[in-house]
Amino acid sequence: MQGKPESEPTSWLWQANIHGEKADIPGPNPEWNNCPHGGWFFLPWHRAYILCFEEIVRDVIQNELDGPDDWALPYWNYTRVTNGDPDSPESLECRRLPSAFRSPDWPDDDGDNPLFLAEPDRSPGAALGAPIGWTEVNPHKAMQAPRFTGVTQFGSEYTDSHLLHSNGQSGLLEMQPHNLIHGYVGGVMSQFFSPRDPIFWLHHANIDRLWAAWIASNSGHRNPTDADWLGFTHTFRNAQGNKVEFTSEDLQSEDALGYVYESLTDGVGLKPPERLVAMLAAGGDLPPQQVAATSGPTDLGPDALTVPLTPEPGARAGALPEAASPQTPNRAILTMDDVRADAPPQTNYRVFVGARPDHEEDLDPEGPYFIGHVHFFGAVGTNTHHHGGGGLTFRFDITEHLTELRQLGIWDGEGIPAVVVTPAPLGPPPPEALEGARALAAVPSPPPGSRPRIGSISLSTT
């Protein structure tokens, strides 16, 4: 597939271009640049996408390599936990980029490994096998979401087309673990032409599995019944290179499509501490009263960064303490707008409020200061044309977070707690990668010229 010309529908590059083309503007082919992120077609579109890709690969395996007739696309179960311990050696191994994708050679050293991509097409940490943190992949919040669409949403909000909208609101599964895995692998995977990296397909097979697991886990979990969702048509190419069409209704059941997953109960998340209730979403209208904001863009780097927020002139002094009071219905919302980078930053970031960056215990993702993540998937360089030229927007509901800070005596309700943003640390690389100075590359650090940044940070109350 990788040796075929880009003009052939069954070639590697054509298939990747369906998702996103490596160009500044949409390509000449209307079948390319069609990734539906930030909307409710995200899951059915990708299910049809990997289904057709699997058919094409199986055809090559059977007819050109004389391989098994029952070959199926594997999934990368980075959400798997053994014995309830996300830090066990077995759990850490599941969160490493699989070894078959880290070696430049075949196991018998007989030729180049087509699954391998060298830095900077992958992040140094992922390339070395340093595991992504459990905090970044735990799908518990998504798997407990009661509805597909709505305020507490599993599968993203209503959109009138399958294309990404600049104000589209990503669902919980898309935000975590989906987007954070893209950020962890980095390089090609952090951009909309991510299917050029072979690990993309195993990643999305696991996301598809989690959708199936969400439906199977609770009789109240249902896909949308709206005709706009059910009847929408998704067009791809089959193993013969011919166009095939699926409606979202056709794609609701993996059983009906002819495949099953080994397990729908393995790797579906662990309940985090009760304090981790901050809601992370993208897009939407700003709340009505802005209390504080940054005075300009914030450039992120390899170290924890404290970002002070300046009170807005005329903002009511008691608005923030009232929002942090259990006796009122008010909410406190932290918004990060125009999040983007010039090149892949090769890391995700964790966000804290009120933390002291020089106190390691304050940067514990299970502690009272942690509120969520920022990633750069789809907001790197020219990828921002998928967002109408803008970067990403993240919103965190920090109401319960501020309430707990007051109850613990960490914040007295006076002033504006500072925001702290720090690269998400990785676990230790495997023993074979610990020799020599290259092991230092497992420490997340944006490369020169990537310039990850946040256009503005604001705190508002409703």
Residue 41, domain member (yes or no)? yes
Residue 197 sits in the same domain as residue 318: no
Residue 314 sits in the same domain as residue 197: no
Residue 447 sits in the same domain as residue 343: yes
Of 231, 251, 271, the residue that ends a domain is 251
Residue 82, domain member (yes or no)? yes
Note the pLDDT of residue 276: 54
Cβ atoms < 10 Å from Cβ of 391: 22
Residue type for position 192: F
Distance CA 150, CA 170 (A): 11
Note the pLDDT of residue 198: 98
Provide the token pair at 258: 């002819």
Judge whether 156 and 38 are in contact, CB under 8 Å: yes
Residue 247 sits in the same domain as residue 321: no
Full residue range of the structural domain in which residue 95 is found: 12-251
Residue 94 sits in the same domain as residue 145: yes
Residue 447, domain member (yes or no)? yes
Distance CA 78, CA 133 (A): 10
Residue 96 sits in the same domain as residue 197: yes
Question: Parallel, antiparallel, or unpaired for β 310-311 and 243-247?
Answer: unpaired
Distance CA 41, CA 224 (A): 10
Residue 243 sits in the same domain as residue 333: no
- Those residues of the chain that have pLDDT short of 50 are 165-167, 277-287, 385, 387, 437
Q: What is the pTM of this model?
A: 0.92
Provide the token pair at 406: 């007051």
Sequence-ordered list of residues with C-beta below 8 angstroms from that of 28, at least 6 positions apart, any chain: none
Note the pLDDT of residue 326: 76
Distance CA 287, CA 462 (A): 6
Note the pLDDT of residue 318: 73
Distance CA 386, CA 33 (A): 9
Residue 285 sits in the same domain as residue 246: no
Cβ atoms < 10 Å from Cβ of 26: 14
Provide the token pair at 268: 């579906």
Domains of the chain: total = 2
Provide the token pair at 298: 């914030």
Could you read off the pLDDT of 337-354 as tens digits, one per residue?
A: 999 999 999 999 999 999
Residue 356 sits in the same domain as residue 239: no
Sequence-ordered list of residues with C-beta below 8 angstroms from that of 141, at least 6 positions apart, any chain: 172, 176, 269, 272
Residue 208 sits in the same domain as residue 288: no
Cβ atoms < 10 Å from Cβ of 338: 16
Side-chain-side CA neighbours of 7 within 13 Å: the count stands at: 0
Residue type for position 309: L
Residue 135, domain member (yes or no)? yes
Note the pLDDT of residue 152: 62
Residue 207 sits in the same domain as residue 313: no
Note the pLDDT of residue 166: 46
Judge whether 398 and 334 are in contact, CB under 8 Å: yes
Residue 24, domain member (yes or no)? yes
Residue 78 sits in the same domain as residue 166: yes
Please, which contacts does 111-116 make with residues 24 or more away whose CB atoms are closer than 8 Å? Answer: 114/2, 114/198, 115/198, 115/199
Going by C-alpha positions, the residue among 369, 52, 98 that lies closest to residue 235 is 52
Residue with tokens 């949403």, as numbered in its chain: 153
Residue 30, domain member (yes or no)? yes
Judge whether 163 and 45 are in contact, CB under 8 Å: no
Provide the strand spans (E) within 38-117.
none
Residue 4, domain member (yes or no)? no
DSSP calls for 113-152: -TT---TTSS-HHHHHTPPPPHHHH--HHHHT-SBSSSSS
Sequence-ordered list of residues with C-beta below 8 angstroms from that of 290, at least 6 positions apart, any chain: 312, 315, 458, 459, 460
Residue 418, domain member (yes or no)? yes
Distance CA 315, CA 292 (A): 8
Distance CA 404, CA 366 (A): 13
Question: Parallel, antiparallel, or unpaired for β 392-397 and 453-461?
Answer: unpaired
Note the pLDDT of residue 388: 53
Distance CA 145, CA 155 (A): 9
Residue with tokens 């919302």, as numbered in its chain: 333
In which order are the strands placed within the sheet that holds 349-353?
A: 305-307, 419-423, 349-353, 370-374
DSSP calls for 178-214: IIHHHHHH-GGGGSTTGGGSTHHHHHHHHHHHHHHHH
CATH for 229 = 1.10.1280.10
- Give, as one character, the DSSP assignment of residue 214: H
